Structure 1
Amino acid sequence: MRNLERLTVETGRVIQRRYLLQRLVQQGQTCTVYQGFDQVLQRVVAIKSAATEHIPAYRAAIRATAQFAHPNIIDIYDLIVEPEALYIVQEYVDGDDFGTLLQSQLSPYYVVDLGVQVCQALMYAGTPVRKVCHGDLTPSAIIRDRRGAVRVNNFALPTDMLYFTAWNNIGGGGSPVVADPELAPGVISDGRRADDTRAVGLLLYQLLAGRNPDARAIEPPVDGRLRFMRNAPPELCELIARTVVRQHPQYISTPEALHAELRALAETLEPPAPPISSGQLAPAYQVKDDAALRVPQPQFARGRSTGLLSQPPGGAREVVRSGADYASISEPNRQMVMVEQNDAPTSFDTTMSAKLAAARQAAYETDAQPKRVNMPLLLLLGLLLFALFFGIGYYLSTVIIH
């Protein structure tokens, strides 16, 4: 009741005679998020309000990330400290949160695209110049704007232990929930980079997991097994397993390695064709060269899309066994356990792509055929020209002689 009264008072308030709190966007465990308006610069902003007990953590996170400038990271504009609360003014992103992306049931291409962009944000933050890990890469830290750019938020905040403890049983569990717990939030280490990389894999898995069409959240599998939608490409399922299951012999532990694998996989996928009435863009967000990062721009195909691809509800297939089964299998056979290709993935995209390719090839073959020449007509034309020149020559010779 007290929180509700506080929210009612906060909405409509002007902070420091500049920022108007217009409406409540989200009520979280540690902060409240508003849509606000900067009355000086005349622009919409997002404003986080953190309670007193969380002020030290948020202030430390802002000190570590205030200089960040990257198209996949939400910008911080201002910090306001008051006796009972701390206000963080950020860039306002109009787009879809992670729950909306789950309901959209993204095609495999756009799931890979999301992973590429999140890895780019982690790689930027982890460069030797910045040395910052995320540490709290949960669904609440992800939003995709209307142009298709994935924006990452909440860098260097304390880890949501409930979330990562629940997802720690993948592959049998047994490993610490987070690496290097003695380090302050945001401080980078090899173990924490591995944790961030695994967190990306968990997000990608949730986007491809078998679920009800209207689900806005995915519960961790009780038995530690990953189950994917039937149209998920086996290569993508295997890549996610290598990122999530720590015991995998080809475990991926850095954002750079995952980024390279996702980009290579994206080149084999093709974005779905948009409906004629669709005008929404959802391409991968290209990043300009950064002096400290030098991330090459993605080279895979771009296209317009709604990002919606219908999939059979409840259609799931098991691809990763529990940790006990995994440990009991000999080394040469472990990789086969990770992906069980019970049926070939089918999707509207691949079928249409094959038809379009066949149509293009037929068109090229038709255009390449040489045109037939009418030989009798060509011979007749030659005889007429010969007779004409012969007649002219005979007439001139007759005139000259006489």
Structure 2
Amino acid sequence: MQNLEGLMVETGRVIQRRYLLQHLVKQGQVCVVYQGFDQVLQRIVAIKVVPAEQVSTYRAALRLTSQFSHPNIIGVYDVIPESDGLYIVQEHVEGEDFAALLLSQPTIYQIADMGRQICQALMYANTSSRKVCHGDLTPSSILRDRRGAIRVSNFALPSDLTYFNGWSVVGGDGVALADSETPWGQMSELRLADDTRSIGILLYQLLSGRPQGATSVEPPSDGRLRFHRNVPPELCDIVARALIRQHPQRFETPDALYAELKAIADALEPYEPVTSFKSEDVMKPHQMLPTGGTGKLSAASVMVSQERAQSGLLSHYRPDAGLAVSDAPGRVAEATSSDPQLVNPSFPDQAYGYTPMAQSAPRRVNMPVLIVAGLLLFALFFVIGYFLAQMFLH
């Protein structure tokens, strides 16, 4: 990590007679970030101070991303060159960084939804009109705002090779990046695959068994995946397919990973009671309410889970193992089940903590009973009518 002392700016300074530096937010590996105030538009901003030797790199990244506008991407407002470096004025996001997310222990639904949102940001950047890859999707690139939206930053910057080298032991075949030749930010098939794997690494850190109070997750020295006990094997499989380069059903694009994460996030989405109904709100026959726990799982999702288990897509998770451990497709390591932080996946249905709702059989109408009841009612009304007639005639 380079010395950032030279980047420290006195708070209270006004840049370009507009942006007031209020206080230091964080020191990164390359830049220093301050909270500032835009005195023209009267709003809080984030101001990133880039050292002179990195200006050309950041200018190249900004040229690729200057037109980005997406709810999952942190926006750039202004770029100010100064003699001591570059000042990048960005959208200010109140929320949690990745370390805070680890501490907050988000639910399985929230983690799947976070992965889906990260995919959305990358898919936006990957469109044919932009063709931009991230390249440096590490914990420092992720924030979650107060509304629960994931915000991604640092697009098109050089990769943190220390970080990716460390995680290359986990399903990476010892290779940090599949594409280190394409210029930073530019798209290639291998660069897309690297970004997709980066999402898998982030999700694994959130889902892994870790000590209470941990603010970071180190790559396991033996390269095997260990998930928390509450993680559904279905989601374990999705993360493994993103992480393990040799997996036969490996995800190679954010689009493919997004489709799977969206399906599981939709299935786990917490049920909220409806206070008023419209005709279109009535559940269709295939829709199902949650059967317990903190989420809901549709019948279709249960069927998909069963099909995957039967087809061998979950082959690297053993039903009788003490935890979900995987270092390559089809390979499983035994472990003791005494560690409370590690998972004990088993499948099919009950493996995921959900049981499909049993549909009650349609009720049959007992015709003989119905006929007898009709005759009794007829006799009763006949008797009442007879007595009434006798009374009025006399």
Quick check: TM above 0.5?
yes
TM-score (norm 2): 0.74
Determine the C-alpha separation between the residues in 1 that align with 2:333 and 2:184: 33
Alignment coverage as a number of residue pairs: 337
TM alignment of 1:75-90, pairs within 5 A: 75-90=75-90
SS in 2 for 1:40: coil
The whole-number CA distance in structure 2 between the counterparts of 1:319 and 1:300 is 32
Could you tell me whether the CA contact under 8 Å between 1:267 and 1:301 is conserved in 2? no
Q: Which of 319, 328, 333 lines up with 2:325 in the alignment?
A: 319
Listed one character per residue, the Cα deviations across residues 359-387 of structure 1 (whole Å, up to 9, x for unaligned) are xx99xx9xxxxxx9999999767654564
Residue aligning to 1:146: 146
Distance 1:183 1:5, change over 3 A: closer
Letter paired with 1:317: L
The 3-state SS of whatever aligns with 2:258 is: helix
Q: CA deviation at 1:301?
A: 10
**What amino acid is aligned across from residue 191 of structure 1 in structure 2?**
L
Q: Deviations over 1:287-329 (max 9, x none)?
A: xxxxxxxxxxxx9999xxx99xxxxxxxx834213xxxx5xxx
Equivalent position of 1:52 in the other structure: 52
Contact 2:7–2:32 (8 Å) recurs in 1 = no
Give the aligned residue type for 1:199. S
The equivalent of 2:188 in structure 1 is 189
Query: How high is the TM-score relative to the length of structure 1?
Result: 0.73
Q: Classify the secondary structure of the residue corresponding to 2:37.
A: strand
Most deviating of 177-186 and 119-128: 177-186
Instruction: Name the residue aligned to 2:200.
Output: 201
* C-alpha contact 2:7 2:31 (8 A) present in aligned 1: no
Query: Is 1:168 aligned with 2:168?
Result: yes
Residue 390 of structure 1 and its aligned partner are, at CA, apart by: 6.5
Amino acid at match of 2:214: A
The answer for the alignment partner of 1:312 in structure 2 is none
CA distance in 1, matches of 2:135, 2:68: 16
CA distance in 2, matches of 1:185, 1:167: 20
Alpha-carbon spacing, 1:50–1:378, altered in 2? closer, same or farther (3 Å): farther
Alignment partner, residue 13 of structure 2:
13
The answer to whether structure 1 residue 343 and structure 2 residue 344 are counterparts is yes
1:113 is paired with a residue whose SS is helix
Instruction: Measure the CA separation in 2 of the matches of 1:198 and 1:100.
Output: 22
Distance in 1 (alpha carbons) for counterparts of 2:102 and 2:90: 25
Which residue is 2:94 aligned to? 94
Identity %, equivalent residues: 54
Please state how far the C-alpha of 1:335 moved relative to its aligned partner.
Answer: 3.2
Q: CA deviation at 1:270?
A: 4.0
1:319 aligned partner, one-letter code = V
Evaluate the alpha carbon distance shift between residue 244 and residue 381 of structure 1 in structure 2; reply closer, same or farther with a 3 A threshold: same
Q: Report the equivalent of 2:179.
A: 180
* Cα pair 2:72 2:152 within 8 Å, conserved: yes
Partner of 1:256: 255
Q: Which amino acid aligns with 1:249?
A: P
The CA RMSD over aligned residues, in Å, is: 4.0
Range with bigger deviation, 378-387 or 40-49: 378-387
CA-CA distance at 1:339 after TM superposition = 11
Which consecutive unaligned segments of at least 5 residues does structure 2 have?
274-286, 296-321, 338-342, 363-369
| Higher RCO (C-alpha under 8 Å, 6+ residues apart) | 1
SS class of match (1:193): helix
Kept in 1, the 8 Å contact 2:7–2:49? The answer is no
- SS at the partner of 2:242? helix
Aligned partner of 1:41 in structure 2 is 41
The one-letter code of the counterpart of 1:131 is K
Distance 1:301 1:99 in 2: 34
> Who is 1:218 aligned against?
217
Consecutive unaligned residues of structure 1, counting only runs of 5 or more, are 275-298, 308-315, 327-333, 366-371, 396-402
Residue by residue, what CA displacement relative to the aligned partner does 1:325-349 show, whole Å, maximum 9, x if unpaired?
x5xxxxxxx4364999983479xxx
Please give the secondary structure, in 2, of the residue aligned with 1:320.
strand
Instruction: After TM superposition, give the deviation of residue 180 of structure 1 in Å.
Output: 3.1
